[in-house]
């Protein structure tokens, strides 16, 4: 899952990036409204966190522009503005959630996961057949057998399961699992897929990830 | 008493006084004209008498001549049956003792009043049978100038008195009517002219902080009320502006305080989520300490600003040597200046002593100088010039730095204002330094000016008040 943080205060952007990367998210940071909007328009993000008071373009303006472009990406406001009017104003500008500073990191994390849930998903856990993924604890079970994965392997599997029954192209996988500093050499995906398949095979579900030749990969429910 | 009543009351009182005065003058003028006419009539009568008697009042010899003459004269004129006839003239001759020598028969048993001791012709009012008459009393002299008696002539005044009484009555009854009408009218007019004030009051009463953007409607005429309304509106503009700035300040202060708090809290929260290497702990804790120091600095500055702005500071104004103060300030800033290879050059160091609070002056100089260092290019010169201009002492501090864009120059003294909007610029200030400078300068009546040029740099000028000497 790839996130964009638009925050001008380097201290806050710093710990958010650190903390979220530890949670297997790919995180990009923009330090002003304009570059944040540029990032949001050129890359595909699974969630965008915006500070309200940022230079060049305000967070509200960035949010409006993103919504104007037709994007439905979840947007969370992160701001010191804390009056009722501010909250309502922020949500009406198109944000999905609103967190007031100072906030608890755990709460932010939980709220991010809520935003990433798909519509027919009651809790955070992800399923594909007998495979069970818990994004909160980063645990993967096949039946009752736990499979130990590295962060990147986990992020890759999580992305494929979230988009199960859909073909995930290599470039989309790169966009959602790796951050902006990664040069888009898609062959690295094949390497990670190989690692993943090996571990899954070990647990007994080696053919879970199927290759669509020349396009990408898919995980099917059945 | 309401304003309109007061206006009406004072106006009426003044006018009543004036009207009373005019009435009185009119009355007495009419009266004196009337009397004058009667006196004229009496004089004519006297002249006629003397002419008829071939005598003057100065060669009076005996009463006999007059006596006969009066008898004859009056008898001819008056019908004896109409005894006391008041609408003709009466004649009476008295000696110096007041004894009646002779009188016209129309007086019957009545006697005209005699005023003894008079040596000239006198005129006065009197009555006979309750009818008003005007009397003239002429002394009669013999050839030696000694008064031998008096000729008293009276004419009836009945008609004239009626006229005078009528006039008096007109005045007496019209006066209260006029005054009352005047009061009512004035009250009405005053009420109408102060109605805009009522509007001002109504608007002002509705005015509370949430709708402070409301303004009083300006009256059509450019009169005092227009000016009052315009003045109140201008006052409201300034108040709204102040409220707005206060709100902005609170928002800025809360943002500036919450940000480092969020950074520290977030960093520590992320840090304790997982076990880490010792080095990582140390790094993060160092980082948090830095943030906390910054926060402490901000709180210090905010407190300082709050203290200065609440005006509770009493500056201890004394003679201060400006060169020595500058020397001390530059010495304190030497470490950071040295780091950027910035040199201070103080010129025009005459013995300039200024009146200022030493501690406050130190803060002012240090803030301006540290700004000069912060925004200077590396290895440049900060020039400090002290000069005398008329009776004032000017101290200008010029850097060779990045300058301030002209459109932002006016705002540099505002709290939390930073020319470079991105807080991540690394210059590390809060935008409070120059606000503190301005406030402290105001307290000591020092004028602070700033001009800037992108290619040359920024110059701050302190103008100290002229010293007593």
B277 reaches A (C-beta below 8 A): no
Give the domain-ending residue among B134, B166, B198. B166
Residue B235 pLDDT > 50: yes
Residue A91 structure tokens: 């949500």
pLDDT tens-place string over residues B298-343: 888 888 888 877 766 677 888 888 888 898 899 888 888 888 899 9
User: Within this chain, do residues B361 and B446 fall inside the same structural domain, yes or no?
Assistant: yes
In chain B, which among 284-303 make CB contacts under 8 A with chain A? 287, 291
Task: Tell me which of B260, B267, B290, B428 to substitute to probe the interface with A (most A C-beta atoms closer than 10 Å).
Answer: B267
Residue A180 structure tokens: 């902006």
- Angle at which helix B224-273 crosses helix A105-116, to 10 degrees, equals 90
What's the rounded mean pLDDT across residues B40-53?
81
Q: How confident is the model at residue B431 (pLDDT cuts 50, 70, 90)?
A: confident
User: Within this chain, do residues B305 and B345 fall inside the same structural domain, yes or no?
Assistant: no
Domain extent, residue B377, equals 317-464
b (16+ CB within 10 A) / e for B429-438: bbbbbbbbbb
Of the listed ranges A153-157, B206-210, B358-362, B451-455, the least confidently predicted one is B206-210
Cα A16 to Cα B196: distance, rounded to the nearest angstrom: 61
Question: Within its chain, how far is the Cα of B121 from the centroid?
Answer: 60
User: Within this chain, do residues B152 and B44 fall inside the same structural domain, yes or no?
Assistant: yes
Cβ pair B274:A22 closer than 8 A: yes
Residues of B in contact with A16 (CB under 8 A): 266
Long-range contacts (CB closer than 8 Å, 24 or more residues apart) made by A169-178: A169/A215, A169/A216, A170/A215, A170/A216, A172/A44, A172/A216, A173/A216, A173/A217, A175/A2, A175/A43, A175/A44, A176/A1, A176/A2, A176/A26, A176/A44, A176/A46, A177/A1, A177/A2, A177/A26, A177/A152, A178/A2, A178/A26
Which residue from B405, B411, B343 is spatially nearest to B380, judged by alpha carbons? B343
Residue of B nearest to A10 (CA): B424
Residues of A in contact with B273 (CB under 8 A): 19, 22, 105
Which residue from B30, B70, B52, B7 is spatially nearest to B170, judged by alpha carbons? B30
pLDDT tens-place string over residues A92-142: 989 999 998 888 999 999 999 899 887 666 677 788 888 888 888 888 988
User: Within this chain, do residues B229 and B351 fall inside the same structural domain, yes or no?
Assistant: no
| Cβ contacts of B64 within 8 Å, gap of 6 or more | none
User: Within this chain, do residues B11 and B144 fall inside the same structural domain, yes or no?
Assistant: yes
- pLDDT value for B67: 60
Q: How confident is the model at residue B76 (pLDDT cuts 50, 70, 90)?
A: very low
Q: What total of structural domains would you count in chain B?
A: 3
What's the rounded mean pLDDT across residues A163-183?
83
Is residue B250 in some structural domain? yes
A21 reaches B (C-beta below 8 A): no
Give the domain-ending residue among B166, B191, B209. B166
Secondary structure (3-state) at A217: strand
User: Within this chain, do residues B280 and B345 fall inside the same structural domain, yes or no?
Assistant: no
Question: Which domains, and CATH codes, for chain A?
Answer: 2-116 (3.40.50.2300), 126-219 (1.10.10.10)
Residue B75 pLDDT > 60: no
Residues of A in contact with B265 (CB under 8 A): 102, 104
Cα B5 to Cα B11: distance, rounded to the nearest angstrom: 10
Q: How confident is the model at residue A36 (pLDDT cuts 50, 70, 90)?
A: very high
Give alpha helix (H) positions in B105-215: 158-193, 195-206
């Amino acid at each position: 899952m790839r996130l964009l943080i638009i925050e001008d205060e380097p201290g806050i952007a710093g710990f958010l990036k650190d903390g979220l990367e530890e949670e297997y998210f790919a995180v990009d940071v923009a330090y002003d409204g304009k570059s944040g909007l540029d990032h949001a328009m050129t890359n595909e993000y699974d969630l965008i966190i915006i500070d309200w008071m940022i230079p060049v373009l305000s967070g509200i303006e960035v949010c409006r522009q993103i919504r104007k472009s037709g994007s439905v990406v979840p947007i969370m406001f992160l701001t010191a503005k804390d009056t009722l009017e501010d909250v309502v104003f922020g949500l009406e500008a198109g944000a999905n959630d609103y967190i007031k500073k100072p906030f608890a990191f755990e709460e932010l994390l939980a709220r991010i996961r809520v935003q990433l849930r798909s519509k027919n998903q009651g809790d955070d856990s992800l399923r594909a057949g007998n495979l069970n993924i818990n994004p909160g604890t980063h645990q993967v079970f096949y039946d009752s057998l736990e499979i130990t994965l590295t962060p990147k392997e986990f992020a890759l599997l999580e992305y494929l399961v979230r988009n199960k029954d859909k073909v995930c192209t290599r470039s989309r996988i790169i966009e959602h699992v790796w951050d902006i500093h990664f040069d888009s050499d898609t062959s690295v995906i094949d390497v990670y897929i190989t690692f993943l398949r090996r571990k899954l095979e070990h647990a007994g579900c080696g053919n879970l990830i199927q290759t669509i030749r020349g396009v990408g990969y898919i995980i099917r429910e059945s | 008493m309401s304003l309109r009543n007061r206006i009406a009351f004072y106006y009426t009182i003044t006018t009543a006084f004036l009207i009373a005065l005019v009435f009185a003058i009119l009355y007495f003028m009419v009266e004196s004209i009337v009397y004058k006419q009667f006196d004229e009539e009496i004089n004519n009568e006297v002249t006629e008498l003397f002419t008829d008697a071939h005598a003057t009042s100065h060669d009076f010899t005996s009463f006999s001549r007059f006596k006969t003459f009066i008898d004859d004269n009056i008898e001819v004129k008056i019908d004896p049956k109409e005894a006391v006839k008041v609408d003709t003239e009466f004649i009476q001759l008295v000696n110096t003792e007041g004894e009646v020598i002779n009188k016209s028969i129309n007086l019957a048993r009545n006697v005209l009043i005699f005023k003894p001791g008079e040596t000239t012709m006198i005129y006065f009012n009197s009555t006979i049978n309750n009818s008003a008459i005007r009397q003239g009393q002429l002394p009669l002299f013999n050839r030696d100038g000694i008064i031998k008696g008096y000729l008293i002539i009276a004419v009836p005044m009945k008609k004239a008195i009626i006229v005078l009484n009528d006039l008096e009555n007109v005045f007496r009854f019209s006066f209260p009517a006029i005054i009352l009408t005047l009061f009512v009218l004035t009250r009405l007019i005053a009420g109408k002219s102060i109605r805009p004030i009522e509007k001002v009051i109504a608007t002002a009463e509705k005015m509370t902080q949430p709708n402070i953007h409301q303004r009083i409607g300006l009256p059509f005429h450019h009169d005092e009320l227009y000016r009052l309304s315009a003045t109140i509106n201008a006052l409201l503009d300034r108040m709204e502006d102040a409220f707005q700035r206060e709100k902005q300040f609170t928002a800025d202060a809360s943002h500036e305080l919450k940000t480092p708090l969020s950074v520290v809290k977030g960093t520590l929260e992320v840090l304790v989520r997982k076990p880490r290497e010792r080095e990582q702990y140390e790094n993060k804790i160092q980082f948090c300490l830095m943030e906390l120091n910054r926060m402490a600095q901000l709180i210090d500055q905010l407190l300082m600003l709050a203290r200065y702005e609440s005006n509770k500071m009493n500056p201890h104004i004394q003679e201060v040597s400006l060169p020595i103060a500058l020397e001390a300030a530059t010495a304190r800033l030497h470490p950071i200046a040295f780091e950027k290879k910035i040199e201070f050059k103080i010129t025009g160091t005459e013995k300039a002593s200024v009146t200022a609070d030493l501690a406050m002056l130190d803060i002012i100089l240090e803030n301006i100088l540290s700004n000069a260092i912060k925004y200077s290019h590396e290895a440049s010169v900060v020039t400090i010039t002290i000069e005398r201009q008329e009776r004032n002492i000017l101290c200008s501090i010029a850097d060779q730095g990045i300058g301030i864009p002209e459109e932002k120059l006016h705002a540099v003294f505002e709290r939390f204002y930073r020319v470079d909007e991105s807080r991540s610029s690394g210059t590390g200030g809060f935008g409070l330094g120059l606000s503190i400078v301005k406030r402290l300068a105001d307290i000591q009546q020092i004028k602070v000016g700033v001009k800037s040029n992108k290619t040359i740099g920024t110059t701050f000028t302190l103008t100290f008040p002229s010293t007593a000497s």
